[in-house]
Amino acid sequence: MAGGISLKELAAELKLAPSTVSRALNDSYEISDATKKRVISMAEKLNYHANPFARSLRENKSKTIAVIIPERINNFFAQVVDGIEEIAQEHGYHLLIYNTHEDLERERKIVNLLLNGRADAIVMSVTSQTSDISHLQKLHDRGLPIVFFDRIRADIPTTKFITNDYESAFEGTKHLIKQGCTKIALLTLGKDLSISQERQRGYSDAILSEGMELNPALTLYCSHEEPHNVKLIQELLLSSDRPDGILSSAEKLAFATYQAIKRTKLRMPSDVKLISFANSSIAGLLNPSLTTITQPALSIGNECAKLLIKKLTKPKHYELLDQVITIPSQLTIRESTLQE
Amino acid sequence: MAGGISLKELAAELKLAPSTVSRALNDSYEISDATKKRVISMAEKLNYHANPFARSLRENKSKTIAVIIPERINNFFAQVVDGIEEIAQEHGYHLLIYNTHEDLERERKIVNLLLNGRADAIVMSVTSQTSDISHLQKLHDRGLPIVFFDRIRADIPTTKFITNDYESAFEGTKHLIKQGCTKIALLTLGKDLSISQERQRGYSDAILSEGMELNPALTLYCSHEEPHNVKLIQELLLSSDRPDGILSSAEKLAFATYQAIKRTKLRMPSDVKLISFANSSIAGLLNPSLTTITQPALSIGNECAKLLIKKLTKPKHYELLDQVITIPSQLTIRESTLQE
DNA sequence: ATAAAATGCGGAATCGATTTCGAAAATTTT
DNA sequence: AAAATTTTCGAAATCGATTCCGCATTTTAT
């Protein structure tokens, strides 16, 4: 607005045509080295910066990737975004970031906002409420490259990045069993969520594979409100179905469990053992320290960005195939599942 | 790219001039209700979406605010961004978010990227290394509205939002003294940082006001590497200057302190009491639970965005005055400073 | 030395939406 | 019924950078 001269003004100053200046700045072979140097030095002197919107309009691309996440105050999502940004920055891409706050209505609005081409591509993880996907379908139909991660939707034919939710839950549950647990509870979020289903399947299969019984009362469908979850977990811990092991499928549910346990007279890990999907570095600081399944958040972000940028820069050579790419999580055993 | 028709095509379909269609869609008084309805319904039918770059080019504004933070995996900054986004969304603004990773060189690059007008305004918190500010000066000179929060630079004449760092540190230190501490350490980050200086001043004044002595060995300048900080704190705890109270000016330094204490034979709070600036909800979960000074992150974000949007929409009526606006933090006493 | 090709640059159209200027058409006023 | 408005809309310029097309001038080939 205030500062900033245009290409035309720069050209006038140099007594050259705008087309020549443009080519010089873009290092075109049609321009002699002498004038290139002259143009570049004058551009620096006058502090010229190309208007990104004129360029976007002309080239029909914005050098911008939109990222849609359901929560910002969440180590996993924050790390994924860091991973995306790392690659994006290397390639001169900017990041528009949107938080849906786990609200489907907000997700719809944001997605509709992106229908106009403001971003060249989208990386997203859906809300735990997302059942109807017409808004996502519309995005995909429009030809906008989109990849999903973690919370994916199988019904949109594109590439998705996840961790090995099934195996991790399976392994985590097995670990609890090996530590002597016989009544294992599962804390989960939305039923419609891809990852919830996978983790639940892993949990169930592990229990069945050991010849143990599945007790539906031991699966807790939690919400996004901390106090409510704490109460729910507390009730479970005081019920006749009291579990001696808990597999939590989200970091915040593990925190709620610490709270709930604190309110009962139970001791961790002697009375109840806990393992959780988690990405926070404080897992080791909790008392007892928390056994975790850590998702490869940074890598997931990296891969999402790499794939999209390939697709954007060489659209002929790369397709967003309808496939799910899995990057394994890591199990870190700490005190919360220690056998005493 | 693929989908999407232009205004001209929409106009042709309607057998109207592009100008008319534009006005109809923008609800101009010059267009009859009848044609407005006709245009709008056809626009919906054909799924028309205005090209944001054409509009930005013409109107010389992007409806975008850039946010620059030094860390993404940090509850304080994440909350501030949530606060900014809340207001921005209400007004149809988009957020370009950049993480400098506490790296001055990266900060410079990002700031230079914004020199071309891609964003209408900037909200930022500088890195702990930022001493030279010529890059920020350039931004400001260019007339780009910019506000700082938390980590501010007094030498750029614009509005800054902070919390009452001096008073909070003063009060926090007083609290430790009241709990019986006689040798209080301060954990701090960059020396050049505005907030560090304020907090240090509050810490010092509190100690002096009680007639106690300041011991320079009790001020620890920490880095951004967790292991290094843990080692540093551990050494302090084992030295002859062993403190019985610690004021930490960042959440992660508090976590490092928990680690360090765990490695010594010391007990918290009996041997050492700890109070920290922190915004994470897990403070209450730690063992012992952590006494915190919580910054009003969401409000800070809200206010930054409100002010900028006022400035952007009514530039004549609002100026970004060279002033510092303070929003108070809140002290929450927990077990880590309990007297036994 | 003349034809052919390559080099270096300018003119003008283009991307898509907004807006100024102006002109019909419809309405109201006298 | 003629004049003055008001309503409603169209033509064309504009924002700034890119690029197709064209035209000199210089270099290379024959």
Neighbours of B262 (CB within 10 A): 16
Q: What is the CA radius of gyration of chain B?
A: 26
CATH fold group of domain A7-50: 434 Repressor (Amino-terminal Domain) (1.10.260)
Q: How far is the CA of B136 from the C1' of D23 (A)?
A: 47
Burial class (CB in 10 A: 0-12, 13-18, 19+), A103: middle
Name the closest residue on chain B to residue A70, using Cα atoms: B82
Whether B264 and A264 have beta carbons less than 8 Å apart is answered as no
Q: What is the pLDDT of residues B264-279, one digit of tens each?
A: 989 999 999 999 999 9
Mean pLDDT score across all residues of chain B? 95
Q: Which residues contact B193 (CB under 8 A, 6 or more apart)?
A: B126, B128, B151
pLDDT confidence bin for B199, thresholds 50/70/90: very high
**B115 interface with A at CB cutoff 8 Å:** yes
Provide the chain A residues 290-309 that lie in CB contact (below 8 A) with chain B: none
- The single-letter code of the amino acid at B83 is G
The residue extents of the domains of chain A are 7-50, 59-163+297-328, 165-295+331-337
- The pLDDT > 90 percentage for chain B reads 90
Question: Rounded to 5 degrees, what angle do the CA atoms A52, A56, A59 make?
Answer: 135
Confidence (pLDDT) at B2? 44
Q: What is the pLDDT of residues B138-161, one digit of tens each?
A: 999 999 999 999 999 999 999 999
Provide the β-strand partners of residue A247: A186, A275
- State the DSSP code for A335: G
Confidence (pLDDT) at A3? 58
Confidence (pLDDT) at B3? 58
Confidence (pLDDT) at A2? 44
Residue found under tokens 């429009």: A142
Tokens standing for residue A273 = 């053992």
Confidence (pLDDT) at B287? 86
Contacts of B52 in chain A (CB under 8 A): 116-118
User: In the predicted model, is pLDDT for residue B107 greater than 50?
Assistant: yes
Q: In Å, how far are A249, B52, B102, B131, B294 from B71, measured between CA atoms?
A: 26, 30, 7, 18, 18
**B20 interface with A at CB cutoff 8 Å:** no
Q: What is the pLDDT of residues A273-289, one digit of tens each?
A: 999 999 998 898 888 99
Residues in chain A predicted with pLDDT less than 70, given as ranges, are 1-3
CATH fold group of domain A59-163+297-328: Rossmann fold (3.40.50)
Q: What is the pLDDT of residues B268-311, one digit of tens each?
A: 999 999 999 999 988 988 889 999 999 999 999 999 999 999 99
**B315 interface with A at CB cutoff 8 Å:** no
What is the rounded distance in angstroms from the CA atom of residue B147 to the CA atom of residue B300? 11
**A313 interface with B at CB cutoff 8 Å:** no
Provide the chain B residues 201-240 that lie in CB contact (below 8 A) with chain A: 226
Pick the CATH number of A165-295+331-337 from 3.40.50.2300, 3.40.50.10490, 3.40.50.920, 3.40.50.10330: 3.40.50.2300
What is the rounded distance in angstroms from the CA atom of residue B215 to the CA atom of residue A302? 46
Burial class (CB in 10 A: 0-12, 13-18, 19+), A280: buried
Residue found under tokens 């993404």: B72
Confidence (pLDDT) at A192? 84
Average pLDDT over residues B169-192: 96
CATH fold group of domain B59-163+297-327: Rossmann fold (3.40.50)
Do B59-163+297-327 and B165-295+331-337 show the same overall fold? yes
Name the closest residue on chain B to residue A77, using Cα atoms: B73
Strands B291-294 and B330-332: antiparallel
Average pLDDT over residues B180-187: 97
